[in-house]
Amino acid sequence: MADNTGTLPTYDALLDTSGLYCPEPIMLMHNKVRDMSSGQVLKVVATDPATTRDVPKFCQFLGHELIEQDTSSADAYLYFIRLA
């Protein structure tokens, strides 16, 4: 996993959690991954600073791969997750 330095990965589904605060982004991620298949990539857009901690823990706990994250902007955080 590396911070974004150029081209963002392609993704199969988008989850925009902008304006939501903990625990809502993670709860919505749980629901979204249930509708997806192993190997697919989920792009998550978030504005809650707590996601910088919560999304990596979510991936680690459930065995998903956080393939890219861009937390360089204070306006929105981007996460690309490959499902286990």
- Residues annotated as catalytic are 22
- For 23, the token pair is 């625990």
Q: Who contacts 43 (Cβ-Cβ below 8 Å, separation ≥6)?
A: 9, 11, 13, 14, 15, 78, 79, 80
Strand order across the 13-16 sheet: 2-3, 65-70, 77-82, 41-46, 13-16
